[in-house]
Amino acid sequence: MAKKETMTPRERVTRALNHQVPDRVPIDLGGFQTGIHRGAYAPLLAHLGIADEPVILDPVQQLAKPCETLLERFHVDVRYICTHGPEGFDGRIVTNRRGGRPWHDLTDEFGVVWSMPDDKPLYMDISHNPLAEATLETLADYPWPDGGDPTRFTGVREQALTLRRETPYAVSTGIGGVVYETCWYMRGLERWFMDMIENPAFCEALLDRMLAFWLDYYTAFLGEVGDLIDVVMIGDDLAGQTGPLFAPDFYRRVVKPRQKRLVQHIRSLTSAKIWYHTCGAVASLIPELIDNGIDILNPVQVSAADMDPRRLKAEFGDRLTFWGGAIDTQHVLPIASPEEVWRHVRRNVEAFKPGGGYVFNNVHNIQVGVPPENIVALFDAAYEYGFY
């Protein structure tokens, strides 16, 4: 018997997020952690015979904004709304020459400079940390951006209303609420790690400034769209391949209280589900994240330590929706045959989907070098095996 959809995408996502069984597993593609690199996007379009002029969604990660034709081809159930820089912020990319090579440089609102060589345009790395030499005394003098500046939200309610009234899709925000990671972007990772031991007061002061920015941001943003969205995406990477990136005690004492305050603040402003992104072997911190009040975990890095899909579903599936976890993106998706991709997707979907609480996506963004045949296999297998 042919599989048949019986729900709209929004109904499907809503049921999955409420741990109810939808007609099939919802599918996502196109966010800042669930997207596709422009270097993989163009070959995919050529393979499928789809005409589109790529638009860059995120210059740092070099993500393309998938066209509607591709999203429909892959049965994608989610659409995104995003804010933008405030008036007066110059977010243009400038080209400079260093070491005999042209470089593309972008300075973000926090003063962090991101750079990419012209002859290897894969993604942007940090080339300047504006607080590398700051002290606790000079931190207060830094020119912080205004998270609540109303000009950064112009047009977003109209976008959300259009999606809500004129399309059947679930509506999600782009990523925000980066309380922890932006601190080390500004300070430098090595210096930040030294601060955690030698100068924790500086860490706390910087985290407080970052938290204040995001509290103001979400007060204004959700004042515009809080009644129109289904998912709010926030996140900070907390783990690597084998476990947390820093001492769990530091997380519990210093980082978690700030994250929890942000999550609870967002929860007070909207009924949308709260999605949290952290890469890596984060299983030991999942109880802390649930206690913070998150509803959804992404990207569910199944290749990392202690991140087996069946174990995660058994331990946390009644309290957490898993969004991602489709396939090992390091050792399988880029190099396997399409048939192997199908097998891996089937295994992971069957582990995550019982009882709802699962949204399908790759583990993080699809990168350059992934064969288009494998991308097609990834999403076709999700659709085939996702029906209940």
Alpha-carbon dihedral angle through residues 325, 10, 236, 227, given to the nearest 10 degrees: -170
Structure tokens at 215: 């509290």
Q: What is the pLDDT of residue 281?
A: 97
What strands, in cross-sheet order, belong to the sheet with 94-98? 94-98, 101-107, 113-117, 125-128
Q: What is the pLDDT of residue 1?
A: 55
Distance CA 18, CA 274 (A): 12
Distance CA 66, CA 70 (A): 6
The DSSP bridge pattern shows strands 56-58 and 101-107 to be unpaired
What strands, in cross-sheet order, belong to the sheet with 170-176? 78-81, 170-176, 231-235, 273-277, 296-298, 321-323, 358-359
Contact call for residues 387 and 24 (beta carbons, < 8 A): yes
- Architecture field, domain 9-85+147-179+209-385: Alpha-Beta Barrel (3.20)
Which residue type is seen at 172? S
Q: What is the mean pLDDT of residues 256-284?
A: 98
Given a cut of 90, whether residue 282 has pLDDT beyond it is yes
Residues contacting residue 241 through CB under 8 Å, at least 6 positions apart: 280, 281, 303, 304, 305
Residues contacting residue 55 through CB under 8 Å, at least 6 positions apart: 64, 65
Q: How confident is the model at residue 318 (pLDDT cuts 50, 70, 90)?
A: very high
Taking only the tens place, the pLDDT of each residue in 348-361 is 999 999 999 999 99
Determine the distance from the C-alpha atom of residue 267 to the mean position of all C-alpha atoms in its chain, rounded to a whole number. Answer: 19
The DSSP bridge pattern shows strands 170-176 and 231-235 to be parallel
Which residue type is seen at 104? H
Given a cut of 80, whether residue 87 has pLDDT beyond it is yes
Q: What is the pLDDT of residue 183?
A: 98
Taking only the tens place, the pLDDT of each residue in 286-308 is 999 999 999 999 999 999 999 99
Distance CA 331, CA 96 (A): 36
Query: Which of these, 57, 53, 13, lies nearest to 275 by C-alpha position?
Result: 13
SS3 269: helix
Contact call for residues 114 and 124 (beta carbons, < 8 A): yes
Checking phi first, is residue 253 left (phi over 0); if not, alpha (psi -120 to 50) or beta? alpha
- Share the mean pLDDT of the chain: 97
State which H helix or E strand residue 309 sits in: helix 309-316
Q: How confident is the model at residue 340 (pLDDT cuts 50, 70, 90)?
A: very high
Report the 10 Å Cβ neighbour count for 71. Answer: 18
Distance CA 360, CA 362 (A): 7
Q: What is the mean pLDDT of residues 17-38?
A: 97
Q: What is the pLDDT of residue 330?
A: 92
Distance CA 287, CA 289 (A): 5
Q: Where are the domains of the chain?
A: 9-85+147-179+209-385
Q: What is the mean pLDDT of residues 18-40?
A: 97
Residues contacting residue 252 through CB under 8 Å, at least 6 positions apart: 288
What is the percent of the chain with per-residue pLDDT over 70, rounded to a whole number? 99
Report the 10 Å Cβ neighbour count for 259. Answer: 26
Q: Which residue would you say has higher pLDDT here, 264 or 1?
A: 264
Q: What is the pLDDT of residue 3?
A: 84
Report the 10 Å Cβ neighbour count for 240. Answer: 16
Structure tokens at 156: 């977003």
Checking phi first, is residue 325 left (phi over 0); if not, alpha (psi -120 to 50) or beta? left
Taking only the tens place, the pLDDT of each residue in 152-175 is 999 999 999 999 999 999 999 999
Taking only the tens place, the pLDDT of each residue in 188-232 is 999 999 999 999 999 999 999 999 999 999 999 999 999 999 999
DSSP-derived secondary structure letter, 356: S
